[in-house]
Chain A
Amino acid sequence: EVQLVESGGGLIQPGGSLRLSCAASGFIVSSNYMSWVRQAPGKGLEWVSVIYSGGSTYYADSVKGRFTISRDNPKNTLYLQMNSLRAEDTAVYYCARVLNTVTDLDSWGQGTLVTVSS
């Protein structure tokens, strides 16, 4: 069974850093594209970042230069390092597996809430 479990969210001050983790089971993270998607309170979904199986990474303009996606193959875990956090980064962050095509986010975690506030 495919399972994704995010962790690492919390309350952080503006300008601070946080690292989110997404522990995967039932499949191999490094063999798939993996993505981060976020959802601000009461708002819609926003694509954040993707890492390809080959290691290439891409980011939304809103986080480029501040966020870094990575993975730990032995731990089968996906990460999102978030630096220089802003109030507008407040959201539930979901990790998702990309399966059949580049937009097929077929499996999602339950999400972890990041709140950026002083």
Chain B
Amino acid sequence: QTVVTQEPSLTVSPGGTVTLTCASSTGVVTSGYYPNWFQQKPGQAPRALIYSTSNKHSWTPARFSGSLLGGKAALTLSGVQPEDEAEYYCLLYYGGAPNWVFGGGTKLTVL
């Protein structure tokens, strides 16, 4: 069974920078996994932020960026705002079967 792993929780100060990562139990995450990042606030549906590693939607704030880092997918928030406090999920695509697997989520606290 494929497992996608994220940091369970991270804390960042307002105005700071934080990087969330997304690892695959199958090995190195590449662009072929089409890493995707979502933000979810309590009581709300998830909102897409980043698709295909580093592409932003029109509504994605400029302070969010996606990349591949050390064999993982990464989401970096630069100049964090209080409203960025939320749960963040990554999604990877595994071809063949095919199969989509979400990470367990990272709870980001802005403190």
Interface on A for B, CB 8 Å cutoff? 35, 37, 44-47, 50, 58, 60-61, 94, 99-111
In the complex the two chains form, what is the Cα distance from A61 to B93 in whole Å? 15
Interface residues in B, total, Cβ within 8 A? 28
Contact A44 B89 (CB under 8 A): yes
Complex interface: chain B residues within 8 A of A107 (CB): 48
Complex interface: chain A residues within 8 A of B28 (CB): none
Cβ proximity bits B87-111 to A, threshold 8 Å, 1 near / 0 not: 1010111000111111111000000
List, sorted by A's number, 28 A–B pairs whose CB atoms are closer than 8 Å: A35-B100, A37-B46, A44-B87, A44-B89, A44-B102, A44-B104, A45-B38, A45-B89, A45-B91, A45-B105, A47-B99, A47-B102, A58-B97, A58-B98, A61-B1, A100-B51, A101-B34, A101-B36, A101-B52, A103-B36, A103-B51, A103-B100, A104-B34, A104-B48, A105-B36, A105-B48, A106-B51, A111-B45
In the complex the two chains form, what is the Cα distance from A45 to B38 in whole Å? 10
Contact of A103 among B47, B52, B97 (CB under 8 A): B52
Residue on B with the closest CB to A45?
Answer: B102
Contact B34 A45 (CB under 8 A): no
Chain B residues 52 to 111 lying within 8 A of chain A, measured CB to CB, are 52, 55, 57, 87, 89, 91-93, 97-105
In the complex the two chains form, what is the Cα distance from A54 to B45 in whole Å? 27
Contact A100 B55 (CB under 8 A): yes
Given contacts A46-B102, A47-B100, A102-B93, contact A94 B48 (CB under 8 A): no
Cβ proximity bits B24-55 to A, threshold 8 Å, 1 near / 0 not: 00000000001110101000011110011001
Contact A103 B46 (CB under 8 A): no
Contact A105 B91 (CB under 8 A): yes
Complex interface: chain B residues within 8 A of A110 (CB): 45
Contact B101 A47 (CB under 8 A): yes
Given contacts A58-B98, A58-B99, contact A106 B91 (CB under 8 A): no
- Among A35, A46, A100, A103, chain B packs the most CB atoms within 10 A around the CB of A103
Given contacts A105-B91, A108-B46, contact A100 B99 (CB under 8 A): no
- Among A35, A99, A104, chain B packs the most CB atoms within 10 A around the CB of A104
Smallest CB separation, A6 vs chain B (Å): 10
